[in-house]
Amino acid sequence: MIRFTERAGDLLFEVRVVPRAARSRIVGEQAGALRVQLAAPPVDGAANEELVRVLAEALGVSPSAIEIVRGEKSRVKQIRVRGFDGGEKLQRLAASNARR
């Protein structure tokens, strides 16, 4: 189950990224965080940009609404989605993309 916080209309949660994957996609949950594989390498912010694009598309929000709050140079990142209170949608997203 993804741990998240809804505060003042924002959604905060953790993401665990796997850079240099075959393709970019959400693959489920790991240790309370959303697990995301990214095709981009972790060079010059390319993986972070790809992460924002993947999350925005999956959650149906603008990329400008997504902010990496902590962990820009780490595989574990804290994400803020401004103006989004879809914690349940986040849970369904992780469950529907979980590896079987």
- Domain boundaries defined on the chain: 4-96
Regarding the domain with residue range 4-96, which homologous superfamily does it belong to in the CATH classification?
A: YggU-like (3.30.1200.10)
Tokens of 68: 């990496």
Amino acid at 37: Q
Q: How confident is the model at residue 97 (pLDDT cuts 50, 70, 90)?
A: confident
- Encoding tokens for residue 82? 């401004």
**pTM (predicted TM-score):** 0.91
Mutual orientation of helices 87-96 and 46-59 as an angle, nearest 10°? 100
Q: Give the tokens for residue 2.
A: 């993804």
C-alpha 20, offset from chain centre: 16
pLDDT number for residue 100: 44
Distance of CA 31 to the CA centre of its chain: 14
The pLDDT value given to residue 87:
75
